[in-house]
Structure 1
Amino acid sequence: MGHHLQGIPRSPRVHPPYALQTGDEGVSLFGNLLKLKDARSDPDQKWLRGLVRYGEMATARVGSKTIVFLNSKRVVGVVSHGHSRSLLMTQEKWAEPRRIMHTLLSGTAVKQYGEWLETESAQMLAEYLLKPALWYRHHYRYANSVVHRIALGERLAKSTKDLEDLQSLVTVFVTTTGSSVVDWFPALARLPRWLQPWQAHWEKLDRWNYDVYRSWWALVLEQIRRGTAPPSFARDTLLHGDTKYTGSDDDAMYVAMQLIEAGSDTTREALHIMIMAALEHPAVFARELLRWRPIFVITPDHVASQDIEFEGYRFPEVTGFVINAVVVGDECDSPETFGPDRWMDGHETDIAHGLWQFRGGRRICVGYRLAQRSMFINIARLVQCFDFKPNGPYNSRILSLEATDEPFPVKVSVRSQAYAELICAEAERLGVLEDAKISRDEL
């Protein structure tokens, strides 16, 4: 099994095993680990796309783990929803943070944030107008400020350095997920500490992560203790004595900061993809962006907490299930064509319908409704008010979403003087025009 893939064909009635020819995949010890590692950096995702030839599911040995790649919308939907209670990793570690965030980001709660989205979006448009070369920074400032206000109660007043530090945390998290030897050989975690030399590296990252979070959290915590903090998720839910949150102060910090971190970065990345789509397809947007160039090509696996039976197959406990986002996104006519009209399906107001970038079932991203509103308002405004043209050579498959500088060369220009005046008038009305003029390098 170390150098084989076992495919499950599309017919639910016939289940012969399939295997690649000997030597075509991996080696006996590592299995397909090196292939999976290379897939993360391959802009064409050839290996992931190749898994579709085995059918709707393909089972791969990765290290000592068995990973099942879900290659179609059908099996993703059935497995994510039908077996959601069996695909949950150590519930006690995530259930409480997820429960508490759900109260903040449910559909009812998100409706209250519309005014903040409008305000921060107006500032972003003014920043685009005044400093078009820094378009990529404006995306992150906008996204961070919205979630910062929801979580901590105040508009963002952080420097470029502060923002880059937080963004770097996300980059490290995304690029190192699945890179530890323990991820693929879990039994190594039982070795004595002195036989785990990799621990020093991860402990250093953990300390850096903690210090960055603490630099943002300390002032908020002090304001709450002094009674001067504005209304916020942190004050009124995480640290309020009358709530049912059971975590420590540090647990509360991680919940709040991970909310800010994740909410900021995925919105930033989606807006970056929008700009790339505008370069490639200037005539013609939210679900198609995330299908055409998915943010998450490989997500952390959902681990079976018990044996699972599915269409004649039995998957043992601890089998990992991964949504093959590239292949699932290709499951349409002309997948390389950017065609937003493919989503005119009667579910236009539900960004998660038929799209698995937010995962699904009980593990769906708790903030997807906020993301939908945020993408709608900003995509509509940006494509209406600005033109985007290439400012140098680029590869539309290489998005460099982890970059803190310009990820690809773009020339931004306002469409007319009338739009420029409208943007300034709206920003001034909402009191953010002067904020848009501030250089965050000087904060």
Structure 2
Amino acid sequence: MTLTKVAAFAGSNPVITWLTASFCLLTAFTFLILAHFKPIGKRGSKTRLPPGPQGLPLVGNLFDIARCVQDPDHTFLTSLSQYGEMATVHLGSKTWIFLNSSRVIHEIFNKRSAVTNGRGELPISSGIISRDERSVLSHVDKWTEKRRVMHSLLSGTALKTYGDFQELESNQMMANYIKEPQRWYHHHFRYANSVMLRITYGEKLPMGEKDLEDLNYVQAMFLKTLGTSVVDWFPDLAKLPRFLQVWRPYWNKLGDKTYDVYSTWWLPIKRRIADGTAPPSFVRDVLLNESTKFTGSDQSAMYLAMVLIEAGSGTTKETLNIMVMAAICHPDKFRKARAELDRVCGPNAERMPMLADMEELKYVCALAKELLRWKPIFRFATEHVATADVEFEGYYFPAGVAFVINGICAANDWEDPKEFKPERYLDGHETDALHGNWQFGGGRRVCVGYRLGFRSIILNVARLIYCFDYAANGEFDSRIIEGVGAEEPFPAKVSVRSKAHEELISQEARKQDTSGM
């Protein structure tokens, strides 16, 4: 049949005409979608990117990334090392360059930080849920002012003042261990949150357990939503007319819940500052102090304060949980750290380890860094988007391409990576949180409180190893650490080391109660 006859037949048959028109429209629409949502890394003729895995049309490797969360073997992230020190992965309309070695992370994040400190468009996680106020996700223009204010956390004076808070809250955690050893994981969670609340607001946990659980809930839900919305991978969908954005009611509920929970904590401290009864704190003395001249809104100040608590508590809590697993799985390393503690603090519970002991506790500090490497908390960190074109070792990355630390490959970028070996960090930089460790990020976007966070980890790792013994309390998979807040991450049995250590803990708790702290 000739084309003329086919056309004549189609024109005389309404069904065929409708099917033909529909097919043509669908084809045109598909091509339009594919062109409009083409990954940023495939749009320029000058672009030269590293090799990477072949993805599916339109979605790229989104399904591979989604499976990462439930994969204890980190199969996809580990596989990216086959492409070299960098691997290109297209995810929806975004292009991520996974950095698989410490060398390229340092080159891209630290040496080129002036143009690799941007953030991508996240209409759900950063927009609806966070009301565009979470500093960790903010674009450079909104982030710079918040970073300026938070920079005070890095000063020596702040480390001394807040170090006192860390030791006091650690005393409470140790006492809680004695009272309820079966809730060891909850004590980690409570310490991590309460010490950051004390630093931020200047007082011990000012709210009830229900408020603390609500705070943990919105923190956990925010982390779970990162990367789970199609709209965050195809941000142009947020430009559709509002009535077509059918996803908004669902995410608005979480955004409103977050705002309400944050307000519950924020409003009381504002009232106390206004009436002159607020204790010294980051909020009173820095954020809302007139001399600081913070230019953000009240909402911006609230989110900055609450995100400081959120970011500062998560890593500490998770690392202490990992320490318990390491104590069970690698008791020889645990005993070696304890021997060092006994040498410094006495084998018969003479005194509690303090932050001032850090320089003498080289092995304990190395063990803390190994915990961060052994079980990376952040399998891949928040994207660093190039704000200008970047040329590096024969590659050309256009502005808009994102660089991401591959936490799994970076952790494996060592000799004998599968071994738990604190000795690898006995290199003269034991107390430097960033040396040989990327769990706090890098470049200008490095976690502003990394020194505070690392000191919290070292302090409590030292005290727990000094005073408690750990054993398995049932079978568990050492590849998996589960649990959010109130859930046990794996079955562990805790027992105090001796009566002398129990008395030391009680003595420190009594001194704290007597002082009114």
**TM above 0.5, one fold?**
yes
Q: 2:388 aligns with which of 306, 314, 338?
A: 306
Equivalent residues of 1:286, 1:351 under 8 A apart = no
Structure 2: segments with no counterpart, 5+ residues:
1-33, 42-47, 119-138, 334-366
Say whether residues 1:85 and 2:114 are aligned partners.
yes
Map of 1:186 onto structure 2: 235
Runs of 4+ in 1 over 3 A off after TM superposition: 1-4, 15-20, 105-108, 432-435
State the alpha-carbon separation in 2 of the partners of residues 315 and 16 from structure 1.
7
Q: 1:419 aligns with which of 485, 501, 512?
A: 501
Name 1:269's counterpart in structure 2.
318
Query: How far apart in 1 are the matches of 2:233 and 2:88?
Result: 15
Following superposition, the deviation at residue 227 of structure 1 comes to 2.0
* 8 Å Cα contact 2:473/2:492 also seen in 1: yes
Query: Partner residue of 2:404?
Result: 322
Residue 230 of structure 2 corresponds to residue 148 of structure 1: no
Q: Tell me what 1:281 maps to.
A: 330
TM-score (norm 1): 0.91
* Counterpart in the other structure of 1:121: 170
Once the two structures are TM-superposed, the CA of residue 26 in structure 1 deviates from its matched residue by 3.5
TM-score by length of 2: 0.78
* Residue equivalent to 2:23: none
Amino acid at match of 2:441: R
Secondary structure (helix, strand or coil) at the match of 2:404 reads strand
Q: How does 1:44-443 map to 2 (within 5 A)?
A: 44-89=73-118, 90-284=139-333, 285-431=367-513
* Contact 2:189–2:485 under 8 Å retained in 1: no
Asked if the contact 1:68/1:321 (under 8 Å) is kept, the reply is yes
Query: 1:158, CA displacement in angstroms?
Result: 2.9
After superposition, the C-alpha distances for 1:7-60 in whole angstroms (9 at most, x for unaligned) are: xxxxxxxx996465xxxx441111101101111221110000000000000001
| Separation of aligned partners in 2, 1:345 and 1:277 | 21
1:111-154, Cα deviation, whole Å (9 max, x unpaired)? 22222221111111111011101111111221222111111111
**Contact 1:167–1:404 at 8 Å: present in 2 too?**
no
Give the structure with higher Rg (CA): 2
Amino acid at match of 1:65: K
2-side partners of 1:426 and 1:39: how far apart?
Answer: 43
1:417 Cα deviation after fit: 0.9
Partner SS for 1:366: coil
The Cα shift of 1:104 comes to 2.7
Is the contact between residue 50 and residue 87 of structure 2 (CA under 8 Å) also seen in structure 1? no
Contact 2:320 2:461 in 1 (8 A): yes
Would you say how many aligned residue pairs link Structure 1 and Structure 2? Answer: 422
Distance 2:321 2:454 in 1: 15
Which string of whole-angstrom CA distances, capped at 9 and with x for unpartnered residues, describes residues 379-413 of structure 1?
01101110111111111111115352211111100
Contact 1:301–1:320 (CA under 8 A) maintained in structure 2: yes
State the SS of the aligned residue for 1:85. Answer: coil
| Cα gap change, 1:388 to 1:433, in 2 (>3 Å) | farther
Q: Give the whole-Å Cα distance in 2 for the aligned partners of 1:316 and 1:191.
A: 26
Match of 1:321, SS? Answer: strand
Compared CA separation, residues 188 and 246, structure 1 to 2 (3 A) = same
Q: How much identity, in percent, do the aligned residues show?
A: 52
Q: How far apart are the structure 2 equivalents of 1:124 and 1:94?
A: 34
Q: Identify the structure with the greater helix proportion.
A: 2
Which whole-Å CA distance do the structure 2 matches of 1:433 and 1:131 have between them? 24
1:227 & 1:434 partners in 2: Cα distance? 20
Matched to 2:100, the amino acid is: N
Q: Partners in 1 of 2:316 and 2:107 — Cα distance?
A: 28
**Once the two structures are superposed, what CA deviation does each residue of 1:343-387 show, in whole Å capped at 9, x if it has no partner?**
011111102111100011111101110112111111011011101
CA distance in 1, matches of 2:87, 2:420: 27
Q: 2:211 & 2:271 partners in 1: Cα distance?
A: 19
User: What secondary structure does 2:290 align onto?
Assistant: coil
CA 1:16–1:121 in 2, change beyond 3 Å: closer, same or farther?
A: closer
Distance 1:107 1:270, change over 3 A: farther
Assess if the C-alpha contact under 8 Å between 2:202 and 2:280 holds in 1.
Answer: yes
Q: Is the 8 A contact 2:379 2:406 kept in 1?
A: yes
Supply the distance in 1 between the matched residues of 2:38 and 2:426 (Cα, whole angstroms).
43
The residue identity in structure 2 corresponding to 1:237 is V
Name 1:439's counterpart in structure 2.
none
1:93 to 1:319, Cα distance in 2 relative to 1, 3 A: same
Structure 1: distance between partners of 2:283 and 2:50: 52
The CA distance in 2 between the partners of 1:17 and 1:429, in whole Å, is 59
How much does 1:422 deviate?
1.2
Deviation at 1:260, TM superposition (A): 1.1
Aligned to 2:306, the other structure's residue is in SS state: helix
**What is the aligned-residue RMSD (CA, Å)?**
2.2
Counterpart residue identity of residue 69, structure 1: F
Q: Indicate conservation of the 8 Å contact 1:167/1:265, yes or no.
A: no
Q: Residues 243 and 290 from structure 1, CA distance in 2 versus in 1: closer, same or farther, beyond 3 angstroms?
A: same
Q: Is the 8 A contact 1:3 1:26 kept in 2?
A: no
| Amino acid of the structure 1 residue aligned with 2:252 | E
Change (3 A) 1:259 1:330: same
